[in-house]
Amino acid sequence: MGDAMKNRILIKTVAVIATVQAISAQADQPPPLRTEFVFEARVKVDRPVVIGESSHGLRRIVPILGGPVQGPALKGNVIAGGADWQYVRPDGAWELDARYTVQTDDGILIMVENRGVRYGKPEVMERLAKGEKVDPGQIYCRTVPTFEAPRDSKYEWMNHTLFVASVERLPDAVIVRYYKVD
C-alpha cells in the first residue's frame, strides 16, 4: 500500500472518529430551551406610592390602571385594580411583585402574579424612579409570571406552563412581553 493510500485512509479514519465524537457529545447535551412569544400587555400605571424604608429596602407600590393585551395566544385587557409591590434593595436592584387580572376577549378572567428584577446603573435607575423616559437597553428587567386560569377553559394550559417576560418601563406605562418556555 502506497503512502498516498495510507494518508487517505488515515484522513477518513480521523473524519469518522471526529464525527462519532461530535454525535456522542451532542447525545450528552440536553436539548436547548426555547421560548415562544405568546402575548404583550401595554399597561398604564399610576404614580408610585412610596411607603418608605423597610427591612428589605425602599418599599413602593405602583397602582395598575389597565391596558390592552394582544398576541397569538391571548387577547383582552388588564383590569384596573392590581398593583406592583416593589422594593429597592440596598444593592440598587428593584424587586418586582405585580399582581393583576386579565379579562380575555371571550370573557375569561385570568389571575397573574409576575415576580422579577429590574437593574441598571444608579444614575439610570434614579431617572427611572423620577418617571423619566429611559432607553430600555440601559435596564435589565425580566420577570417570571404565573397564571391562574379557570379549569376547563381554553386557557387552562397556562396553569401548567412556565413563562418568562421582558419588561419595558415608560413614564406612565409598562410593556410586558410574555414568552412560553418549551
* Three cell numbers written together for 152: 376547563
Mean pLDDT of 154-167: 96
Whether residue 9 is predicted with pLDDT greater than 70 in this model: the reply is: no
Q: Is 44 helix (H, G, I), strand (E, B) or coil?
A: strand
Backbone phi, then psi, for 28, in 5-degree steps?
-80, -15
* Three cell numbers written together for 130: 423620577
| Contact criterion met (CB below 8 Å) for 41 and 67 | yes
In this prediction, residue 136 carries a pLDDT of 85
Half-sphere exposure (CA, 13 Å, Cβ side) for 171? Answer: 5
- When comparing pLDDT for 30 and 79, which is higher? 79
Cα gap 16→54, rounded to integer Å: 64
- When comparing pLDDT for 1 and 165, which is higher? 165
Cα gap 125→110, rounded to integer Å: 31
Whether residue 95 is predicted with pLDDT greater than 70 in this model: the reply is: yes
Mean pLDDT of 119-125: 90
| Contact criterion met (CB below 8 Å) for 104 and 74 | yes
Q: Helices in the chain by DSSP H: which ranges?
A: 3-28, 122-129
Mean pLDDT of 38-55: 94
Least confident segment among 26-30, 56-60, 123-127, 131-135: 26-30
Cα gap 78→102, rounded to integer Å: 4
Whether residue 79 is predicted with pLDDT greater than 80 in this model: the reply is: yes
Q: Helices in 66-131 by DSSP H: which ranges?
A: 122-129
E-strand ranges in the chain read 35-45, 49-53, 58-70, 76-88, 94-104, 109-120, 139-148, 163-169, 173-181
* Three cell numbers written together for 71: 398576541
In this prediction, residue 25 carries a pLDDT of 62
In this prediction, residue 133 carries a pLDDT of 84
| Contact criterion met (CB below 8 Å) for 103 and 82 | no
Q: Given CA atoms 10, 16, 17, 22 in this order, what sign does their dihedral have?
A: positive
Cα gap 102→143, rounded to integer Å: 17
Whether residue 14 is predicted with pLDDT greater than 60 in this model: the reply is: no
In this prediction, residue 164 carries a pLDDT of 96
